[in-house]
Chains A and B, each alone.
Chain A
């Protein structure tokens, strides 16, 4: 199993994602330069946090035109797992792989702190190892994480169970004071309809070692590994089944 972490000019959580997957989870992981047009042999792609291309123009607006994004789009259409974290989420929105847009945080300031998010759906490849309603303590660090979309899109997201995480209190209650940035419907993370592309503003890669404050983010990476393992075993079984006895 191989994870790929995309490096855009200005990505700055690429090393952290690499460390979380490689050193903490013990999975094979490689960096993918933004100019590469191929992502050979990757089973999952992470678009890391940071300030790709300085976030000039608009967050993620320039990064989506990087050559690697064409490969990521093809990969996603074929059902490959794509996780966008923070700036990676913003890039997925700009690329149209996820619906909606980001506004500036409600109080117009950058916010870095641990928040609590509730797992709203476990039937995704990113949350299948979590319990429904499980509350995770994960840090945020962003200026533009105030998720917004039109009412029709929100209704779609709800109907198709695409809202994966919501900001809540530590006890899992939806309260305005627990919503750090003013996100619509307290949305912290969403997936596409096919459930193989997810974007989230909180940083699970910063929450994989208890001594740094929380290891709750591990469940997201474990879900990805579990889902890929199941899928690989499944496809191996198919391959075997197709071999004439």
Chain B
């Protein structure tokens, strides 16, 4: 019998976030009441964040296998074969709640956590991307100055935290995206994606084996920080008292993580390591129980041996601490000293705290007294699984009044300027220049230069492409279609650089899963992702679910963020968005062969969900554009073929802000200040033709000599290719049906676009 200080009742369990049924389950597994430490172990491991208890039944519907997939969901990160005996290891993860409570450290430790997930598998991190969502930065009738100023502060802290951690660690932050909606005001989203490279035959897994093998604790000392980060912060809604949860946020030390990286990769080369797992959410508890469970073994640890930074820590605190920059590894008995030598070289703690056992139990001792004794499998794998009630999704926005198109005579120049200045469209230079996006000298296409980031793999001809996307507004209006767009846009962005999309990772950000309509959104989104991933052949290899993104009962838009990985066979074929040569032909590619003649009302409905409708008319209504996955697939094939055959000089997909913004961005990105002269024939409303966000489209440029080849390749791929103008040094001009609708000096437009974010942040 395990002695316990206080009587553990259902009420005490409830304070730890366990329901009465969950508590009964704990009693049944143990055959007795749990000790306080055991209660803590169950409460974190069965929290939503760690157990996926609400999402599990739905996640099963995602496609997770493919010819290149080496490791799907269930390990620390997904693994994909990229040829030459190498694998890409990648995953995206959220750190939303901590980033609201303490933006700088919350975002920093989010980056730190995902980096450990990568190098714990034996891969050296080579790139990070961040997908961020904030509330509006400017005061408006719906947003008070207090709220706007808090949003600016959160953004500033989050960017600073990401930069602090990634820059010091020495991984380039090469891309990502930022969106703004009022629903993120009290619940910003910080999703960090990391990519690493390893040799396929040198991967490491978190599977303990070999009874008697030593369990070794390495890295930073354990403190009281972050206790219950996973269960209290990440698995509950926020109230007005949330700021008091600041002690639950961990503090990051990227220098320590850099040392841990080098030491871990070095120790892995000695052959002495059997298994390794980082101590992330739920710290020592999750790393020990998961390694034991996955290996079908048990683990016994002595807490008195755990390096501690504070005195008087209880077993409960040591087991639940989420102190950063720590790892747990299992070594080959007799080779401990090889492990100690490496960590000693790097000045890090490495202490044998226990051993692998055959009994399948997680046994925790404190000075020889048992404080927890639980079947490891029960903690890690037998958590509750809920089939929560699902209600049809209903968004008030979907039935809101639609945009009325401007009269045909309207002057759209002013609207265009306003659109370029909206934070969602404006240049993100102010953000990405704070990130070291070049360290490790692999960045072929960095932030702002392409639709996806491209990092080369030294000593091969290949490069990897990565893009993240996710439109919360569209998912709010129609979760399933919105989710399909997230997959399609990320894949399209990867293809625009010339790379072939091969796999995906997803971060699913939602409200409270105990609300049937939130679960309805979740279920729909899973179906949408599954369908699009199958159609575009990008299996999901991992990711993370973040529920309870609600403050004061108000949920965020359902926001699935997709990270798609692509392989570029020849890094020299990498394409950016910038126009390259004066006189080049500009071609609009349309996988859906344009003339999908929607009725007037459908056009209005899909236009009402666009960035333009929001920025110009303040409307969020209607539905996302209809999606045609075979059209997306054709366009992707076409873009890859055009790049591989070096037929084009630039490619940029049509997305936020529509065709006009796409064209302008290709001008802005060109170092020579190129402009574009465009002439289009259309039967659509003028605003729709210029600013609609219909999918499966991209703008490419090619030399006049290559134009015929471009058209031929497009035809082979069943993609419509329409020459619509040329690259010039003159004014930026878009003519519709013979009439100039947008005409301005390109430099004046660039100025607006380039400085809008700084203006909004008050940092000019």
CA distance A208 to B442 in the complex (A): 12
Q: Is B441 close to A, CB under 8 A? A: yes
A-B contacts, 25 of them at CB < 8 A, read A9-B258, A9-B259, A9-B346, A10-B255, A10-B258, A12-B170, A12-B258, A16-B439, A23-B458, A51-B168, A51-B254, A54-B254, A55-B255, A56-B255, A110-B434, A112-B432, A112-B438, A141-B167, A203-B438, A205-B441, A206-B441, A211-B572, A212-B438, A212-B443, A213-B438
Contacts of B170 in A (CB 8 A): 12-13, 50-51
Contact A141 B439 (CB under 8 A): yes
B432's nearest neighbour on chain A, judged by CB, is A112
Q: Is A73 an interface residue (CB 8 A)?
A: no
Contacts of A54 in B (CB 8 A): 168, 253-256
Q: Is A16 within 8 A of B259, CB to CB? A: no
Whether B433 pairs with A111 at a CB distance below 8 angstroms is yes
Whether the Cβ atoms of B259 and A10 lie closer than 8 Å is yes
Q: Once the chains bind, are B169 and A12 in contact (CB under 8 Å)? A: yes
State which residues 1-56 of A face B: CB under 8 Å: 9-10, 12-13, 15-16, 19-20, 23, 49-51, 53-56
State which of A9, A49, A50, A203 has its C-beta within 8 Å of the C-beta of B347: A9
In the assembled complex, B274 has its CB within 8 A of some CB on chain A: no
Add 13 more A-B contacts to A51-B168, A51-B170, A213-B438 (CB < 8 A).
Answer: A10-B168, A15-B440, A16-B441, A19-B441, A23-B458, A56-B255, A110-B434, A112-B433, A112-B434, A112-B436, A139-B438, A141-B438, A212-B444
Residues 299 to 331 of chain B near chain A (Cβ within 8 Å): none
* Interface size classification for chain B: 20 to 34
Please measure, in the bound complex, the distance between the C-alpha atom of A9 and the C-alpha atom of B432, giving whole angstroms.
Answer: 26
In the bound complex, how far is the Cα of B433 from the Cα of A142, in angstroms? 10
Task: Report the bound CA distance from A49 to B438 in whole Å.
Answer: 12
A159 within 8 A of B: no
Residue A240 CB within 8 A of the other chain: no
* Distance in angstroms between the alpha carbons of A55 and B458 in the assembled complex: 29
Partner of B436, one of A110, A208, A211, A213: A110
Is the C-beta of A109 less than 8 angstroms from some C-beta in chain B?
yes
Which residues of B sit under 8 angstroms from A12, Cβ to Cβ? Answer: 168-170, 258, 439
A78 at the interface (CB under 8 A from B): no
Q: Which 10 A-B pairs have the closest CB atoms?
A: A12-B170, A54-B255, A51-B168, A141-B436, A16-B441, A112-B436, A110-B434, A10-B255, A110-B163, A113-B433
Cβ of B158 under 8 Å from chain A:
no
Taking A13-B170, A54-B253 as contacts, is the C-beta distance between A111 and B434 under 8 angstroms? yes
Contacts of B467 in A (CB 8 A): none
B496 within 8 A of A: no
Q: Separation in Å of the B552 CB from the closest CB of chain A?
A: 33
Complex CA–CA separation, A195 to B195 (angstroms) = 42
In the complex, chain A residues whose CB is within 8 Å of the CB of B258: 9-10, 12, 51
Q: In whole Å, how far is B362's beta carbon from the nearest beta carbon of chain A?
A: 34
Whether B565 sits at the interface, judged by CB under 8 Å, is: no
Q: What is the minimal beta-carbon distance from A31 to any residue of chain B, in angstroms?
A: 12
Among candidates B254, B255, B441, residue contacting A212 with C-beta atoms closer than 8 Å: B441
What is the CA–CA distance of A141 and B434 in the complex, to the nearest angstrom? 9
Q: Tell me if B652 counts as interface (CB < 8 A to partner A).
A: no
Nearest CB of A to B350, in Å? 15
Collect the chain A residues with CB atoms within 8 Å of residue B253's CB.
54
What is the minimal beta-carbon distance from A92 to any residue of chain B, in angstroms? 20
Q: Tell me which residues across on chain B come within 8 A of A111, comparing CB atoms.
A: 433-434
Residues in A whose Cβ lies below 8 Å from that of B571: 211
**Complex: chain B residue closest to A19, CB-CB:** B441
B254 contact set on A, CB distance < 8 A:
51, 54
Interface string of B444-474 (1 = CB under 8 A from A): 1000000000001010000000000000000
* Neighbouring B residues of A208 by C-beta, 8 Å: 441
Minimal beta-carbon separation of B764 from chain A (angstroms): 11
Once the chains are docked, how many angstroms separate the CA of A132 from the CA of B171? Answer: 35
A103 smallest CB distance to B (angstroms): 18
Q: Is B726 an interface residue (CB 8 A)?
A: no
CB neighbours of B444 from chain A (8 A)? 211-212
- What separation, in Å, do the CA atoms of A209 and B439 have in the docked complex? 14
B435→A112 contact, CB < 8 A: yes
Q: Looking across the interface, which residue of chain A has its beta carbon closest to that of B255?
A: A54
Give the chain B neighbours of A141 by CB distance below 8 A: 167, 436, 438-439
Residue of B nearest to A112 (CB): B436
Is there a chain A Cβ closer than 8 Å to B437's Cβ?
yes
Q: Distance (Å) between the CB of B106 and the closest chain A CB?
A: 18
Interface string of A137-175 (1 = CB under 8 A from B): 001010100000000000000000000000000000000
Contact with A along B327-356 (1 / 0, CB 8 A): 000000000000000000011000000000
Shortest Cβ distance from A109 into B: residue:
B434
> Closest approach, in angstroms, between the C-beta of B336 and any C-beta of chain A?
23
| Chain B stretch 160-180: residues in CB contact (< 8 A) with chain A | 163, 167-170
Closest partner residue, chain A, to B172 (CB atom):
A112
CB neighbours of A50 from chain B (8 A): 170
How far apart are B130's CB and chain A's nearest CB, in angstroms?
15
Given contacts A9-B346, A141-B167, A211-B572, contact A16 B434 (CB under 8 A): no
Residue of B nearest to A14 (CB): B170
Asked if A112 and B437 sit within 8 Å, CB to CB, the answer is yes
**A23→B459 CA distance, assembly (Å):** 10
A12 to chain B, nearest CB (A): 3
Closest to B348 in A: A9
Chain A residues, CB < 8 A from B255: 9-10, 51, 53-56
| Bound CA–CA A203/B433 (angstroms) | 15
Nearest-neighbour CB distance to chain A for B90, whole angstroms, equals: 20
Query: What's the Cα separation between A19 and B458 when bound, in Å?
Result: 10
